[in-house]
């Protein structure tokens, strides 16, 4: 089984779970049997009633991020994924800023290179 979270933790809902993937995410994170987790949920349902189980389940589904499609290899990747899940607009702004910074650096390098070439051509021709 491949885990989609690093050693610092991060529990994710499974994308291929029956209903929101909470039980499967918990079973993968704690390395328990999925059947055992579902049985525990049913037992909890029987002894506590309908609304507490549904409430806890929905709260867990709300706070657990969906499992990433690709494995996360570093803390930076996990941070970006978590920020994207919570605010795609914020993640897009961060990426846009990063690409603007890279573009600005490339332009400065191009200006430096072309300025030297232009200077050498002018000196050679005169």
pLDDT at 3: 45
pLDDT at 102: 92
User: Could you give the 3-state DSSP secondary structure of residue 107?
Assistant: helix
pLDDT at 71: 72
Show the CA angle centred on residue 16, arms to residues 39 and 42, nearest 5°: 15
The DSSP code for 21 is T
pLDDT at 24: 86
pLDDT at 51: 83
Q: What is the pTM of this model?
A: 0.49
d(CA 100, CA 92): 12
Phi/psi for 12 (5° steps) reads: -125, 150
In Å, what is the CA distance from 71 to each residue of 4, 26, 39, 81, 85?
Answer: 5, 17, 29, 11, 15
pLDDT at 2: 41
pLDDT along the chain (126 residues), means of 10: 46 79 86 88 85 84 78 75 73 84 90 73 75
pLDDT at 6: 41
Q: Where are the domains of the chain?
A: 1-86, 87-126
d(CA 21, CA 15): 6
pLDDT at 9: 54
Q: How far is Cα of residue 96 from the mean position of the Cα atoms in its chain?
A: 17
């Amino acid at each position: 089984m491949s885990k989609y979270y690093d050693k610092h933790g991060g529990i994710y809902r499974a994308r291929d779970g029956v209903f929101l993937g909470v039980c499967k995410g918990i079973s993968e994170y704690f390395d328990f049997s999925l059947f055992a987790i579902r049985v525990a949920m049913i037992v909890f349902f029987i002894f506590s009633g309908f609304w507490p189980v549904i409430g806890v389940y929905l709260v867990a589904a709300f706070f657990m991020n969906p499992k990433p499609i690709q494995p996360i290899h570093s803390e930076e990747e996990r941070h970006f994924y978590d920020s994207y899940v919570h605010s795609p607009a914020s993640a897009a702004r961060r990426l846009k800023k990063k690409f603007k910074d890279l573009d600005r650096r490339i332009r400065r390098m191009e200006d430096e290179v072309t300025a030297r070439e232009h200077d050498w051509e002018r000196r050679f021709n005169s």
